[in-house]
A and B are shown apart, each in its own frame.
Chain A
Amino acid sequence: MYYYIVNPAAGHGQIKGLQDKLKQRLDTLGISGQWSKTTGPGEATRLTEAAVQAGATTIVAIGGDDTLNEVINGIGTSDHIAVGVIPLGLRNRLSRQLGIITWQQACDALAARRLTSYSLIAAGQQYFLSTLTLGFETDLDKRIDAPDSKLTGRLKQFTSSFGHARRFPRLHAVIEIDDSYTIECDVFSLAIANQKFLNPLADNQLLVAFSEKPRRRLKTGKLVWQSLRRQELTLLDDTASNRLFAKRVVLTTTPATGIMVDGKVAGRTPIAIRLTDRNIRFITEKIVGDFKRTVSTSAAQQPKNQSS
């Protein structure tokens, strides 16, 4: 049984103009089901719990990252439920990472029902799928809903964000890794990502990436511009000044700071983050062949016949 949970506020009420077309498309594909609308934050979790109780086999979040995250947190320990997403609104990093860009593509993906199981990450009492962030990029995410489509608007956003980056207060972090070692440093931006979710061929572990405040204006400008383009987090590319891997991270900052989890504001530091053995099956458009196995630099440099 399909159960659709709609966030009517997503994309400033985007569902209003779309609902009939969407229902018709789902009906044509033979995957119509029960619909519910959320009335506020946290409602999607409660609706998901109710849907699981009622015997739903597929729960679809219609909205942005926060709607999908609430659905994830409502699944509980049920391992037979599949989760899908129809992206609406401006914050859809998760659905992009699942390979789903438009609502039409999402409907086709739901019908194709290609399932991939992902481990969830626990952050305090909540679960998330992809990335926890704090620092400047998180702050930017909260301040700016979406990059302006016009160049003049984008430049205005850039100028204001650049000034903000230069004035961004010092954040001292203590990061405990796997009860094995502790890192202390000043952090400008930090991300903890589910590596296997980002790359299905990678090891199942947390990728911890963080950077100090850029010293040069040019580097600051580049970081701000890339963040505003709303592509993947700049920290998760290969230019992060620090990256390491863990199963468990305890994060403390001075002063305490807000964190975002899968694009949703979700508490403050200190916080413990760990890889769990709770798996959820997602309907995805990701093709494993698009990814490369992670290798260390030395292994990559060896001649092929010597690689392990």
Chain B
Amino acid sequence: MSKRNLSDALSVAGSDTIIGSDVHVKGHIMTDSDISFDGHMEGDITSQGNVSVGVNAQVKGNLKGFNVVVAGQVRGNITASGEASVLSTGNVHGDIVAASLAIDSGGIFVGQSSQSQPASSPTTH
């Protein structure tokens, strides 16, 4: 890969956190940028950007971000300044506070939802 291609790769999505499946995490992940999580988590994830929970993910903890998209399993509360989405493979047991909420057909949500004031955009860099 040439220097320019490496630079390109580091720039776009260069600041996103990505944690794949088969990874076990304990503690509190805090990040300024977007995060895609597909592993096993005991603890919270807090992002100033978007939070994506992949189809293989199992999270026991709270999620906080601008938009939060869940395709896996979450046992905990979700706080989204923008939209919270539970996709068709998603399974959420906990409360959701978000400016808007979308639950796809097949998605499971057990808990209480409430609406917050919408924020303008994620404060990522």
Contact = CB atoms under 8 A, between A and B. Distances in A.
A276 B99 CA distance: 40
Interface of A: 96-97, 99, 177, 180-186, 195, 198-199, 201-203, 207, 212, 226, 231-232, 236-238, 240-245, 290-300, 302, 306, 308
Given A181-B25, A238-B13, A242-B20, A295 B125 contact: yes
B76 interface: no
B37 to A, nearest CB: 10
B28 A306 contact: no
Interface in B1-29: 1-20, 22-29
Given A180-B30, A181-B28, A308-B124, A300 B6 contact: no
Nearest to B45: A181
B1 A185 contact: no
Contacts of B39: 185
A183 B18 contact: no
B123 A199 contact: no
B125 A195 contact: no
Contacts of B100: none
Contacts, number: 139
Contacts of B24: 183-185
A298 B23 contact: no
A183 B121 contact: no
Contacts of B29: 177, 180-181
Contacts of A245: 15, 17, 31
Contact of B23 (A184, A238, A297, A302): A184
A298 B35 CA distance: 10
A299 B124 CA distance: 7
Contacts of A298: 34, 49-50, 66-67, 122, 124
B27 A182 contact: yes
Contact of B123 (A99, A293, A308): A308
B38 to A, nearest CB: 9
A180 B67 CA distance: 23
Contacts of A186: 22
B43 interface: yes
Contact of A296 (B1, B43, B125): B125
